[in-house]
Amino acid sequence: MSMLAQRIITAVVLLAVLVAALLAAEPWPFNLLTLALIAVAGWEWGRLNQAGAILSLAMGAALALSCGAALAAGWSEHAPQLIWWLAAMVWVAGGVVALRGGPKSWPLLSRPIRWVLGLAALWAAWLAISHARSIGINFILSVFCVVWAADIAAFFGGRRFGKRKLAPTISPGKSWEGVYSGMVGVFVLAVVWGAVETAISTDSLSLFGQLRQHLGLVAGLAALAFLAGMSVVGDLVESLVKRAAGAKDSSGLLPGHGGVLDRVDALLPVFPLALALLSR
């Protein structure tokens, strides 16, 4: 079977399972599915950061237990807003430091610090995704689509207009023009989504509607540009870690796609940051 066929089959299966869990009448199928995926991502993070086979499995299990504890505490619906702001500060400040240092600087951090940073980021992202599901299907889908639209628009915009390299030592294919194209793609998505949202009944207000309601039009657009940019940061940070580890993919669990981290890296900063921007 060709690599393209593997990618298509894996993507279709993953999307079907995700949509089925997301549209379930109760939130628990989606919460358990995403919990399992984030636990696998925790295992992959340990492997990429020299934790060893047994310790990496233990890290994935510990992450699953901590997510389960947050779920049992009711945080999927009523999480402390401080979590989103702490995650935002770590992603913005830590992302800048990591990307400026490049792949060579990452191993200079002690392994325990790298383990804790990664597991904390994964935990906060899972909690934000779970909380977004409690807000409503329309809301969580809009956040997912911000990341996907930014990625797709950046890919095509970068191929067509890309000249200035964004982070050549981390991801040589990415360009500043691709980043700007991703932001434009998100703006277009916001306009289309807003038009549809006013025409049909939805279970919740989308991210676009909520940002406009909380921040106003201009600041809301700035927030969308920020989220699109941070999706790139999430992707670059994972690429940096893989380059430092000398790995092409986070694992080989998803045929044609690599590992779970390879598929969710851009989502990790966006969900907690979106909730931070909407918090009061």
- Does the pLDDT at position 2 exceed 70? no
Beta-ladder partners of 171: 167
CA-to-CA distance for 44 and 57, rounded, in angstroms?
A: 9
Query: Can you give the pLDDT at residue 11?
Result: 79
- 134-179 confidence digits (pLDDT tens): 999 999 999 999 999 999 999 999 898 988 999 899 998 999 999 9
- 47-58 confidence digits (pLDDT tens): 999 999 999 999
Q: Which residues contact 17 (CB under 8 A, 6 or more apart)?
A: 33
- 178-190 confidence digits (pLDDT tens): 999 999 999 999 9
Instruction: Determine the distance from the C-alpha atom of residue 185 to the mean position of all C-alpha atoms in its chain, rounded to a whole number.
Output: 17
CA-to-CA distance for 182 and 232, rounded, in angstroms?
A: 9
Q: In terms of pTM, does the model score above 0.75?
A: yes
- 27-76 confidence digits (pLDDT tens): 999 999 999 999 999 999 999 999 999 999 999 999 999 999 999 999 99
Average of pLDDT values for 86-115? 93
- Does the pLDDT at position 277 exceed 90? yes
CA-to-CA distance for 106 and 49, rounded, in angstroms?
A: 10
CA-to-CA distance for 122 and 117, rounded, in angstroms?
A: 9
Q: What percent of the chain shows pLDDT beyond 90?
A: 81
Average of pLDDT values for 231-243? 95
CA-to-CA distance for 20 and 200, rounded, in angstroms?
A: 22
Per-residue exposure over 42-51, b if at least 16 CB sit within 10 Å of its own CB, e if not: bbbbbbbbeb
CA distances from 97 to 8, 166, 237 (A): 36, 15, 10
Instruction: Determine the distance from the C-alpha atom of residue 144 to the mean position of all C-alpha atoms in its chain, rounded to a whole number.
Output: 8
CA distances from 176 to 66, 159, 166 (A): 37, 11, 5
- 191-200 confidence digits (pLDDT tens): 999 999 999 9
Contact 91, 233 (CB under 8 A): yes
Query: Can you give the pLDDT at residue 217?
Result: 94
